[in-house]
Structure 1
Amino acid sequence: MKGWLIWLILIWIGTVHAATDSELLVKAALERTNHQVRYDGKYVSIAYPNGDVPAEIGVCTDVVIRSYRKLGIDLQQLVHEDMKANFDAYPSKRIWGLSKTDTNIDHRRVPNLRAFFTRKGQSLAISDQAKDYQSGDLVTWMLPNNLPHIGIVTDKKHPQTGNPMIVHNIGLGPKLDDMLFAAKITGHYRY
């Protein structure tokens, strides 16, 4: 009986202290900030599934893709499979004039990730209140010159504004910044 009780206590401790998916995602995103990555969104042929552009290059979507990959989630494959089955639910025809999927680039485009997270995750309200954005949430923005952008909300708070800090790549490699309200928010997701 004593062994059974110890086993139950160990399971309870493991359950209580197990990291959530959002905590693991944030940890993976924060780890991305340790990598030297040149901002480069050029078209590259990559393997499928689990393909990636060379480690020394990337854009904002690659921060998200590589962070989820640390959790065993392959957005390349997931986006491709959903796009292939539901092509009209994605903006590829409207924005880029495409008529079929492309495993090399589809998952690296913010509008496609927005469609995927809306379809397969939770699309949350856009708010001007920092408290409405939880650690592990994904946020998309429209930057000047109609440039879509995406980042991961972390558990770190900016010391002056109190805003949750964002891991993203806006041109200088993966960084942790007070970015949440720096541009027009176009999407708020949980996946």
Structure 2
Amino acid sequence: MNAHRRAALAVLASCAVALAGPALAAGSAETAAPAHALKLVRAARAQIGVTTRYDGAYRRILYPMGDVPAQAGVCTDVVVRAWRAQGVDLQQLVHEDMRRAWPAYPKLWGLKRPDTNIDHRRVPNLAVFFRRRGQSLPASRQPGDYRPGDMVTWMLPGNLPHIGIISDRKSASGTPLVIHNVGAGTQEEDALLRWLVTGHYRYRP
């Protein structure tokens, strides 16, 4: 897991730059969206002020429904926890899909078999899962192409993969906000177009 820890440290080092962005409009209007998508967004937003640290250390956790301490986590934990609030356990779903389709998943970490402690906490694995089990949409840079509850992946400087959930709120310029953890805990920010978008997913179990 040394590579994973180095990636976490690199994100922390870059967060001061990455978190800077245009000011948000006061009382930004919320966008109409399906009820299930709004529930996902609210569950992600509820993590703000709870998850206050970025910590990518490998931990042994329960399976299923295992989690690291709520005050810490990485970008994937925002997504996993938001879906868990809907009764959807991505830890179990990703593990089962990896067992069924091991060759479809990336082999970036030298694993010989699935690992329930970490597989669902890695952006490339979530991207494959959402592409296989959900809807994969164009990785557009047009803000109007994104809906509340969509999940987006980016490549941060240093080739660091990242993921977040599209909010139902918009910036002063009309760009949907993103709920994510890029180094300072869960935040809701104008970050959709800040980095290279590598994936756009819509999922409804």
Normalised by the size of structure 1, how large is the TM-score? 0.87
Count of residue correspondences: 170
1:13: which partner in 2?
none
Instruction: Work out which of the residue numbers 177, 183, 191 in structure 2 matches 1:165.
Output: 177
Q: What is the SS of the residue equivalent to 2:199?
A: strand
Partners of 2:149 and 2:192 in 1: how far apart? 13
Higher RCO, Cα 8 Å, sep 6+ = 2
Instruction: Work out which of the residue numbers 131, 135, 154 in structure 2 matches 1:141.
Output: 154
CA 1:32–1:84: 2 relative to 1, 3 Å: same
1:178: which partner in 2?
190
2:45: which partner in 1?
30
Percent of aligned positions that are identical: 58
Gaps of 5+ in 2: 1-33
C-alpha displacement of 1:106: 0.1
Higher Rg: 1
C-alpha displacement of 1:55: 1.3
CA-based RMSD = 0.9
C-alpha displacement of 1:77: 0.2
1:189: which partner in 2?
201
Partners of 1:36 and 1:142 in 2: how far apart? 22
Gaps of 5+ in 1: 1-18
Partners of 2:142 and 2:166 in 1: how far apart? 13
2:94: which partner in 1?
79
Q: Does 1:90 align with 2:102?
A: no
Moved over 2 A (4+): none
C-alpha displacement of 1:182: 0.2
Q: What is the SS of the residue equivalent to 2:64?
A: coil
C-alpha displacement of 1:107: 0.1
Instruction: Work out which of the residue numbers 122, 126, 131 in structure 1 matches 2:139.
Output: 126
- Matched to 2:86, the amino acid is L
Partners of 2:103 and 2:52 in 1: how far apart? 33
Cα-to-partner distance string for 1:140-190 (whole Å, 9 max, x where unaligned): 00000110000000110001x210000000000000000000000000000
C-alpha displacement of 1:37: 2.5
Normalised by the size of structure 2, how large is the TM-score? 0.81
Contact kept, 8 Å, 2:155 with 2:161, in 1: the verdict is: yes
